[in-house]
Structures are given as structure tokens and as C-alpha cells.
Amino acid sequence: MKKLREFFHRIEPDKKEHPLLHTLYDGLFTFFFVPNTVTTQGAHIRDKVDLKRVMVTVVLALTLCYIFGIWNIGHQHFLAIGQYTGLFEGLHLKFAFGLAKILPIFIVTHLVGLGIEFYYAAKRGHSIEEGFLVSGALIPLIMPPDIPLWILAVGVAFALILGKEAFGGTGMNVWNIALLARVFIFFSYPAVISGDEVWVAGLEAAKPGAAAQYGWIETYIFNPLFQLLGLSTFPDSATVVDTFSGATPLSLAFSGGWDAVTARFSPAELWFGAIPGSVGEVSKPLILAGMAILLITGVASWRIIAGGLLGAAITAWLLNLWGATPMMQIPWYYHFYLGSALFAITFMATDPVTASTTPMGKWIYGLLIGFFGIIVRVINPAYPEGWMLAILFMNTFAPLIDHIVIEMKIKRRLSRAKV
């Protein structure tokens, strides 16, 4: 390890003459080595866990969602064409197809995002900021698998430049960067990120009789490899079966209530995630596994998560009592089976930069996210999913919540002092 450190010091470029090269070097160096100093006096924190290690913990917590999401992209595609409909049938084809869809999204996200990060770091003359590690991992998980890559690139650039760098970089942004990229695409190009036709990939159209479409990765890389291994290959010609419907459980719920959902999907399918939807939001047990990692390591605030879950549950239960529309009649606990409720509360609401920071403020922040998320989902017909808007809305008011909480504590202490 000592020789490796000496090697890095020998190849270190001059910061003034080659700022961009030094920025790239610094990012690689801090990836391999933790800080070489710790606080010894006047501080409670005395370990070597830096921002990069915290971010890596979140990325690791998302890994299972990535693995399942890759399989589910392929599974939904083959369900649409009526082939390999069993969960464990055609596993190699499903994983290969899902990988061919998610890998370009992941690469474009990081090329654009890290390119912008490197540019601003070199321009400002400081080290690479690690904030995009989490945003870059989250963005592919909240996008449709067939999203046009140029639209994705524009959304990422908008979120990074106007939502983060304009405010000063990592730790200074007001809104969650991943959600900001999604909301930009949602309002600028709604047809590619909403509706029932965008959640099943590789189809000419989401209707019976439409042709299945495969790219050069499936045709010229995976098919020859599978032939060499004696495995089945992607079909030369396949069409969407008559019984196919690309509707997500949430859209079915909005149009026909819980009965419409259970007529198409079983509760077990909704819970374990073999359903159409965003790449990372579908498997609830794996999201809970990621939540456990974040809570055990202390990376995420348990108050925000508990507040978000409690706020959503209470709001859904109250709407059950009202019961004026099919969405209001969905049992409150099944709201956590639908859409991105668990994923958003676990990985989006807990962003420490954009969330409230005081203990009481975290409770209020989480409760209001749960409240607004369910309200938008159930009542607003334009947005069948409300978590994106709820979290961005509460990001805006998080500083105000902390300010009010602190002022209230000051007033209480002053009143006790006077007594």
C-alpha cells in the first residue's frame, strides 16, 4: 500500500499547469485512499469516513435494485411477446436484454454528469466533488428503459448546471439532483416518461401485433455468444401478443381502483416486483434491504424514513374513510405496493443536502412528504405518481422548517430562563 501511494505521488500532475488532469488524478487518488488525518481534539467525529465513502454506501444499497431491475426489463419484454413467461425461464436472455437497455442509460448519465463535475472542479481549482456518485446511480433507476439518450443527456445537464453548479456545487443544491433531472424530462418531454407505453422496452409499439425490436448489442454480440454456448437466442421475428397490456399498476388503480389492479396483478407480483415500472422502484423487498443498509450504517435518517412512511399511511387511511373515488378506496397499506413510494422515501427523501437537518425538522419534513405524496397520487388526475413533486416541494421548504424549529426552541429556552 505504501508503494502504491508513492506511485500516485510520482504521477501527480501540476495543479496550476494542468488543472483538469489534476482534478482527474485527485478523484482517482481519493477513490483508493481514505483521508490521512483525523480530528483529535474539539470534535466528536474521529474516523476516516469521508464524503466519498458515504456516497459509496448509498450506491451499494442500490445494487440489488439494479440487478432486479435489469432482469425485470427483460422479463416484461418477453411477457409482451409471449415467450419465456416463467420467472426463471430464459434468464440469460432477460438479463442480456435488460443490460443492453440499462447500460447505455448508465453510461450517458455518467459521461454527461461527471464531465460537468470535472469541468467545474477544474475551473474552480478544487477537488472533484463526490455528490454525483449517488445522483448518477439514482437517475437510471427512475427512468423508463427505452428513454431516448439525447433527452436523458439534456435532463442530466439541466439538473447539474442549473440545479447544482449554479448554487455552488455539492452540498449547496436546493433540490434533489436526480429528481430534478426527472422533473425536467417529465415537463419537457412528457411522452417519453409517462403513460402506459414507455415502461416495457424493445417494442415497436405497446399494442398487440407490434414487432419486437432488438439493437446491435442483442443481434451482433449476445446472439453469437449464446449460439456459441448452445443457448437460445433472441428471436428473429416476434410480435406483441393479443393479451398484452403495458399499463402500470398505478394507472390501473387510478382508472378502476384496487379491483382493476388485482385483476391484472397479484399482491405477490406487486410486492416482489414482476411488474412494469421504473427500473429501480418495482421490488419492494430489495428496497427494504437497501433501507436497512442505510439505517444500519447511519447514512440515512430514520426520522425522515419513519415520518415519510407514517405520513403516507395516515393520509391514505384518512382518504379510505372518505372513499369518494376508486383511488381513495385502495387500502392504505397497499399504497406501499404501488409505484415508487418506498423507493422515493428511502433513497430520495433522505438526501442529507436537500432535507431538513434538525431532529424535529426531519420528522416534520418526512411527514409532509408522505402527506403530499399520497395527496398528489390520489387526488390529482394529471400525476398518477406524486412523490417526485412532493419531495421537490419539501426540498424547497426544508430550510424554513429548520428555521421555525430552531426559533421555537430558542423561545422555549428563553421562557424557561426568565422563569
What would the pLDDT profile of 32-58 be if each residue is shown by its tens digit? Answer: 666 565 555 554 455 556 666 788 889
The answer on pLDDT for 335 being more than 90 is: yes
User: Where does a domain end: 246, 273, 300?
Assistant: 246
- pLDDT tens column, 317-327: 999 999 988 89
Do both 275 and 330 map to the same domain?
A: yes
Determine, yes or no, domain membership for 158.
Answer: yes
Do both 408 and 324 map to the same domain?
A: yes
Do both 149 and 276 map to the same domain?
A: no
Do both 132 and 77 map to the same domain?
A: yes
Q: For a pLDDT cut of 70, what percent of the chain falls above it?
A: 87
Q: Which residues, in sequence order, are CB contacts of 173 under 8 Å at separation 6+?
A: 131, 163, 164, 167, 353, 354
The answer on pLDDT for 153 being more than 90 is: yes
Q: Which residues, in sequence order, are CB contacts of 396 under 8 Å at separation 6+?
A: 174, 175
Determine, yes or no, domain membership for 366.
Answer: yes
Determine, yes or no, domain membership for 212.
Answer: yes
pLDDT the model gives residue 69: 96
d(CA 218, CA 141): 21
Determine, yes or no, domain membership for 9.
Answer: no
User: Where does a domain end: 246, 262, 287?
Assistant: 246
The answer on pLDDT for 19 being more than 90 is: no
Determine, yes or no, domain membership for 290.
Answer: yes
Distance of CA 168 to the CA centre of its chain: 23
Determine, yes or no, domain membership for 43.
Answer: no
User: Where does a domain end: 200, 215, 246?
Assistant: 246
What's the whole-number mean pLDDT along residues 278-293? 94
Do both 194 and 315 map to the same domain?
A: no
The answer on pLDDT for 185 being more than 70 is: yes
Do both 296 and 164 map to the same domain?
A: no
- pLDDT tens column, 349-378: 999 999 999 999 999 999 999 999 999 999
Q: Which residues, in sequence order, are CB contacts of 88 under 8 Å at separation 6+?
A: none
Do both 225 and 296 map to the same domain?
A: no
What's the whole-number mean pLDDT along residues 295-318? 96
Q: What pLDDT band is residue 62 in, cutting at 50, 70 and 90?
A: very high
Q: Is the model more confident about 30 or about 3?
A: 3
Do both 190 and 279 map to the same domain?
A: no
Q: Is the model more confident about 19 or about 116?
A: 116
- pLDDT tens column, 226-268: 999 999 999 988 999 998 888 889 888 888 889 999 999 999 9
**Full domain range(s) for residue 289:** 248-419
> Per the structure, how many domains does the chain have?
2
Do both 151 and 288 map to the same domain?
A: no
Which three cell numbers, joined as nine digits, stand for 280?
A: 429501480
The answer on pLDDT for 405 being more than 70 is: yes
Angstrom CA distances, 135 to 68, 159, 182, stand at 19, 10, 11
Do both 309 and 208 map to the same domain?
A: no
pLDDT the model gives residue 121: 80
- Give per-residue burial for 257-269: e unless 16+ CB within 10 Å, then b: bbebbbeebeeeb
Do both 204 and 61 map to the same domain?
A: yes
Do both 370 and 397 map to the same domain?
A: yes
| Mean pLDDT of all residues belonging to the chain | 88
Determine, yes or no, domain membership for 115.
Answer: yes
Determine, yes or no, domain membership for 141.
Answer: yes
